[in-house]
Amino acid sequence: MERLFKLQELGTNMKTEVLAGLTTFLTMAYIIVVNPAILSAAGVPFNQVFVATILAAVIGTAVMAFSANYPIAIAPGMGMNAYFTSVVATQGLSYQIIFGAVFLAGILFLLLTFTKLRELIIESIPDSLKYGIASGIGLFIAFIGLRMSGIVVANKSNLVALGDFHEPVTILSIIGIFITLILNARKIKGSLFIGMLITAIIGYFMGLLHFDGIASVPPSIKFFDLDISGVFSHSLYTVVFAFLLVTIFDTTGTIIGVAEQADLIKDGKLPRAKSALTADAIATTIGSTLGTTPTTAYIESTSGVAAGGRTGLTALVVAILFLISLFLSPLVSAISGLPSITAPALIIVGSFMMEGLAKVNWRAFDEAFPTFAVILTMPLTGSIATGIAIGFITYPIIKLVSGKGKDVHPIIYIFGVIFLIQMAFFPNH
């Protein structure tokens, strides 16, 4: 294992990587329950999505582990599942047809991965935007943690407000935050995971954590017929493009954010980028044949990196835990059903991801504003892809009017135009 994943070379060890994998898995295990719940609203059988979600995560994360050696987990993305359900509802089409669109997007995704385009995208993004993407993701996941825990809630007059601090889940979340902060401040290894474990124990004695058994026999695994011809007969090209575009930039943005935090980007380039991107493309394509929406690199991987994960061994541990969860669905459901266990980790990891902002030249407006726009947009729109789009649009425009248009890579101009068209004519996609 040490030689395979180059643990010594990357300054880590097996214990750290295993703890990091456990931490990442626990912060993202909610997808095992949430994804089937969302897609079942579109008529897809719950058990089918349950198995598909886990297998897509296992395949994508295992490929990431062995081919790219990165501590990044892959699983069906939030947002795309809601979009899938809305397309089925608004278009009045069968979910088999929309899964056909997902499959075609996955194939295109895979073909693009074998070109230099996606690596070129990563390399063409200026450093200031890369730092902005990482920090924007940090605020995004911290905001998710705040909402999950009830520390902030929806408010009509001001969009968000402080929640009710008398709510048991909120109280437990605040306790979890302080426990984890103390452990981290004391520089205790595995502080995020230990914090989650202690919070879970407290939650159990508070009567908030309920177990309806530990293990169960998993549902049967089966492929179903995709209706690819229906995609063409109903001209669902914008749907395919939407799945493709969001998946590309969600994954690219997350990989950049996680890699930046783990100090894996060297001279503006990400080694083995093609392998990392291939993992997502394979998982998306196979996942669509099993019954789930496009996969993406998970922002919760940052929690594993914060716990010390630096190699594919972290990802392999996540993949193994996903596979085990096929047989432990009652246990996983109980843990993922109590936000107080994972929310503190997300909030604290959000702060870790602000580090790159110190490297941005805030006195140079043409660098500072696009970075600020990315950071601001991600948490407020709830979309990594939208934040990246805003950065790609504002950066070249400000550079052009500042007389520095030649400093911008042509790829940024091309995607800036694509994003402008997409936001103007397909804002809900």
Burial 26-63 (b: 16+ CB within 10 A, else e): bbbbbbbbbbbebbbebebbebbbbbbbbbbbbbbbbb
The Cα 16–Cα 311 span in angstroms is 10
From the list 353, 351, 346, the residue with the least C-alpha distance to 147 is 346
Q: What is the pLDDT of residues 184-243, one digit of tens each?
A: 899 887 788 889 889 999 999 999 998 888 888 887 777 777 889 999 998 888 788 778
Burial 131-149 (b: 16+ CB within 10 A, else e): bbbbbbbbbbbbbbbbbbb
pLDDT of residue 426: 65
| Sequence-distant (≥ 6) Cβ neighbours of residue 327 within 8 angstroms | 215, 216, 217, 218
Radius of gyration of the chain (CA): 21
- Top-ranked range on mean pLDDT: pick from 105-109, 290-294, 320-324: 320-324
The Cα 71–Cα 22 span in angstroms is 12
Is 322 buried (19+), middle (13-18) or exposed (0-12) by CB count in 10 A?
A: buried
State the DSSP H helix or E strand holding residue 295, giving kind and residue range, or none if neither. strand 295-297
Tokens, residue 143: 């905001």
State the DSSP H helix or E strand holding residue 155, giving kind and residue range, or none if neither. strand 152-155
- The more confidently predicted of residues 187 and 295 is 295
Tokens, residue 140: 């995004």
Q: What is the pLDDT of residues 108-149, one digit of tens each?
A: 988 888 888 777 877 888 989 988 988 888 898 888 889 989
Looking at the predicted structure, is the pLDDT value of residue 334 above 60?
Answer: yes
pLDDT of residue 428: 52
Tell me the pLDDT band of 427, cut-offs 50, 70 and 90.
Answer: low
The size of the chain, in residues, is 429
The per-residue pLDDT of the chain, averaged, comes to 88
Tell me the pLDDT band of 320, cut-offs 50, 70 and 90.
Answer: very high
Q: What percent of the chain has pLDDT over 70?
A: 98
Is 316 buried (19+), middle (13-18) or exposed (0-12) by CB count in 10 A?
A: buried
Looking at the predicted structure, is the pLDDT value of residue 83 above 80?
Answer: no
- Top-ranked range on mean pLDDT: pick from 26-35, 55-64, 276-285: 55-64
- Determine how many CB atoms are found less than 10 A away from the CB of residue 360: 20
From the list 318, 395, 376, 386, the residue with the least C-alpha distance to 138 is 376
For residues 285 and 50, is the Cβ–Cβ distance under 8 A? Answer: no
- The more confidently predicted of residues 394 and 353 is 394
pLDDT of residue 363: 95
- The more confidently predicted of residues 160 and 329 is 160
pLDDT of residue 429: 45
DSSP for 215-233 reads --PPPPP------HHHHHH
Of the CA atoms within 13 Å of residue 101, those in its CB half-sphere come to 28
The Cα 294–Cα 243 span in angstroms is 7
For residues 293 and 287, is the Cβ–Cβ distance under 8 A? Answer: yes
Looking at the predicted structure, is the pLDDT value of residue 393 above 60?
Answer: yes
Centroid of chain to Cα 103: 20
Tell me the pLDDT band of 408, cut-offs 50, 70 and 90.
Answer: very high
Q: What percent of the chain has pLDDT over 90?
A: 46
- The more confidently predicted of residues 381 and 364 is 364
The Cα 326–Cα 258 span in angstroms is 27
Looking at the predicted structure, is the pLDDT value of residue 37 above 80?
Answer: no
From the list 347, 125, 376, the residue with the least C-alpha distance to 256 is 125
Going from the C-alpha of 291 to that of each of 47, 143, 228, 283, the distances in angstroms are 10, 29, 14, 12
